[in-house]
């Protein structure tokens, strides 16, 4: 029986991008379905009744929700090509820790940068830069977070690069000035077809954010 893989997604979603990249790394053919989040499809509501969120990976009719869970699932099922997680348990724990940090800290702080203004935004910007510096420290002098090869933390974090321009314009700062190694890493990742094809254009993301700000009545 042929494998049937469907991804319910939304083009600017940082989380959806992770699954796109993982699927591309493994060379898996899948059907991409764009969701209108103001008018969620019956399929989305059926496949993710608990959270009603994208991305949803549907493999042979069975849904997997939550992007990092999807990436681990993809890595475990299609394990013979482009391994994303290390095999050593301690290294696995380390990459899981940093991917989780990206979700717990970096995502929320980044959101606050574009969603707020004034004093609140200044604080968010400071904390956001601190969190980027911490993850830059974790990268160190390695070409990728995964060492010599592109891995789990790279997949988890590279989608944010497509949002950097939007964060910078909204917060009026330069990420490259603060974290040059991160930008060098990001550009290295963008050389990979799996990444370049999965990330939207930064200007397009910024235009989307401006629309969102208008919609939420933020400045």
Partner 1 sequence: MAESNVKVLGTWASPFVMRVKIALHLKSVRYEDVEEDLLAPKSELLLKSNPVYKKIPVFFHAHNPICESLIILQYIDEVWTTSASSILPSDPYERSQSRFWAAYVDDKFFPALRRLLIGATEEDKKAALAEVVGGTVVLEGAFGELSKGKAFFGGDNIGFVDIALGSLLGWIEVIGKQCETKLVSEAKTPRLVQWADCFSAHEAVKDVLPDVDKLADFGLKLRAKILKALAPTN
134 forms part of the interface with partner 1 (CB under 8 A): yes
What do you get for the CA distance between the two ends of the chain, in Å?
Answer: 53
Question: What is the CA angle 74-77-78, rounded to 5?
Answer: 80
Rule CB under 8 A: is residue 96 a binding residue for partner 1?
yes
Complex with partner 1: residue 89 or 118, whichever CB lies closer: 89
Closest contact distance (angstroms) between CB of 107 and partner 1 is 13
Cα–Cα distance for residue pair 123/38, rounded to 1 Å = 31
Q: Are strands 31-34 and 56-59 parallel, antiparallel or unpaired?
A: unpaired
Q: Is 194 in the site for partner 1 (CB under 8 A)?
A: no
Smaller CB separation from partner 1, 48 or 162? 48
Instruction: Select the span of 23-31, 58-66, 139-147, 161-169 touching partner 1 (CB under 8 A).
Output: 58-66
Per rule CB under 8 A, is residue 77 in the interface with partner 1? Answer: yes
Among 2, 29, 61, 89, binds partner 1 (CB under 8 A): 89
* Cα–Cα nearest to 173, from 122, 134, 212, 115: 122
- How many residues bind partner 1 (CB under 8 A)? The answer is 21
* 190 lines the binding site for partner 1 (CB under 8 A): no
64 binds partner 1 (CB under 8 A): yes
Select from 14, 65, 109, 179 the one that contacts partner 1 (CB under 8 A). 65
Q: Which of 4, 34, 76, 193 binds partner 1 (CB under 8 A)?
A: 76
Q: Does 62 bind partner 1 (CB under 8 A)?
A: yes
Shortest Å, Cβ 34 to partner 1: 23
DSSP string, 150-184: --HHHHHHGGGHHHHHHHHHHHT--HHHH-HHHHH
In SS3 terms, 13-80 reads as CHHHHHHHHHHHHCCCCCEEEECCCCCCCHHHHHHCCCCCCCCEEEECCEEEECHHHHHHHHHHHCCC
Least gap, CB of 93 to partner 1 (angstroms): 4
Task: Provide the Cα torsion 155, 156, 157, 159; round to 10°.
Answer: 70
Interacting residue with partner 1 among 100, 130, 193, 207 (CB under 8 A): 100
**Entry field: residues in the chain:** 219
Q: Which among 189, 152, 188 has a CA at the least distance from the CA of 75? A: 152
Instruction: List residues near partner 1 by CB under 8 A.
Output: 50, 59, 62, 64-66, 69-70, 72-73, 76-77, 89-90, 92-93, 96-97, 100-101, 134
């Amino acid at each position: 029986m042929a494998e049937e893989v469907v991804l319910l997604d939304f083009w600017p979603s940082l989380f959806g991008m992770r699954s796109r990249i993982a699927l591309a790394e493994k060379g898996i053919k899948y059907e991409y379905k764009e969701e209108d989040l103001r008018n969620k499809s019956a399929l989305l509501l059926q496949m993710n009744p608990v959270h009603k969120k994208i991305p949803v990976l549907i493999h042979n009719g069975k849904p997997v929700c939550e992007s990092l869970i999807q990436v681990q699932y993809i890595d475990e099922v299609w394990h013979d090509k482009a391994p994303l997680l290390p095999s050593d348990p301690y290294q696995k724990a380390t990459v899981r820790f940093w991917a989780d940090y990206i979700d717990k800290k970096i995502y929320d702080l980044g959101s606050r940068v574009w969603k707020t203004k004034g004093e609140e935004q200044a604080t968010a910007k400071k904390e956001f830069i601190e969190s980027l510096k911490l993850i830059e420290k974790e990268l160190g002098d390695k070409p990728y977070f995964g060492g010599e090869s592109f891995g789990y933390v790279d997949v988890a974090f590279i989608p944010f690069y497509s949002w950097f321009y939007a964060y910078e314009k909204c917060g009026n700062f330069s990420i490259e000035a603060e974290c040059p190694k991160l930008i060098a890493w990001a550009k290295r990742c963008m050389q990979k077809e799996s990444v370049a094809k999965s990330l939207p254009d930064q200007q397009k993301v910024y235009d989307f954010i401006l629309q969102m700000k208008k919609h939420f009545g933020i400045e």
